[in-house]
Amino acid sequence: MPIAIINDTCIHYRTEGDRSLPALVFSNSLGTDLSMWQEQADALAGRNFLVRYDTRGHGLSASPPGPYSIDQLGTDVVALLDHLDIEKAHFCGISMGGVTGLWLGVHAPKRLNRLILANTAARVGTADGWRTRAAAVRAQGLGAIADSAASRWFTPEFVQHQPAVADAMANKLRGQNYEGYAACCDALASADLRAEIHAITAPTLIVAGAADPVTTVADAEALRSAIPGALVAALPASHISNVEAPAQFTRQLLEFLA
């Protein structure tokens, strides 16, 4: 279980594949952990040096008291690259992980090769919405958020046909650290990169879920028009598109990184 002490915080990560291959970093969404990328890791470990990590406040990484900020989530990645002696990497982040990717595109362009931004936006939801959620989680824990997770993350058809996958992810959320989750809601409350993302120079692929109610296809189009040269692919999925449409997601990754 590799742990790096990064910005005074224990960050859990996992590497796979040959170090001589181009590095590819995966960043998880709110309430999940690095295991969400298993399908992509299985497909890509022969082609890339994979680095998966648990965003602070998630999985086996530490959950120091919040609020966190998007600058912190982004500088954690830069420090993890330093720790692993990686000069430049591809970066694939989903939802909150995608916001981290946008931050890296703006603030750490020299550390990036290609950028894959899935189910994300330069401004996800509203500051009030995230502050209300953070307060509710600090007061009541993660039970209610976990109970409703499947409906935010997946289409009803997916939940019906793959109940074990949806339940396993919701149960994992139930077991997360509530302060870490709330502190990441604080980070999303204050993250608004809309005025900055035009400066991104990394070749960028935006992956949308055609049925995503959280970060919509319109959000993906807004990213595409702001980021020079960005491409968009819409998959038949809701918010956690790499789990709901794993084969299509992986194909997009492979084609974009080829």
Ligand X SMILES: O=C(O)CC1=CCC(=O)O1
Minimum Å gap between C-beta 142 and ligand X is 11
Q: Whole-angstrom Cα distance, residue 135 to residue 238? A: 26
Our CB check for ligand X shows the closer of 17 and 31 to be 31
Q: For residue 124, which of 45, 185, 64 has the smallest C-alpha distance?
A: 185
Among residues 11, 25, 30, 134, which is the contact residue for ligand X, using CB under 6 A? 30
Q: Whole-angstrom Cα distance, residue 63 to residue 96? A: 16
Sites for ligand X among residues 149-168 (CB under 6 A): 149, 152
Backbone conformation region of residue 77, classed left if phi is above 0, alpha if psi is from -120 to 50, else beta: alpha
Q: Whole-angstrom Cα distance, residue 248 to residue 85? A: 31
Our CB check for ligand X shows the closer of 31 and 180 to be 31
Position 124 contacts ligand X (CB under 6 A):
yes
Our CB check for ligand X shows the closer of 84 and 240 to be 240
Applying CB under 6 A, the span of 9-17, 24-32, 75-83, 163-171 interacting with ligand X comes to: 24-32
Among residues 9, 27, 29, 61, which is the contact residue for ligand X, using CB under 6 A? 29
CB-CB contact of 229 with 62 (8 Å): no
Binding-site ranges for ligand X (CB under 6 A):
29-31, 95-96, 124, 149, 152, 214, 239
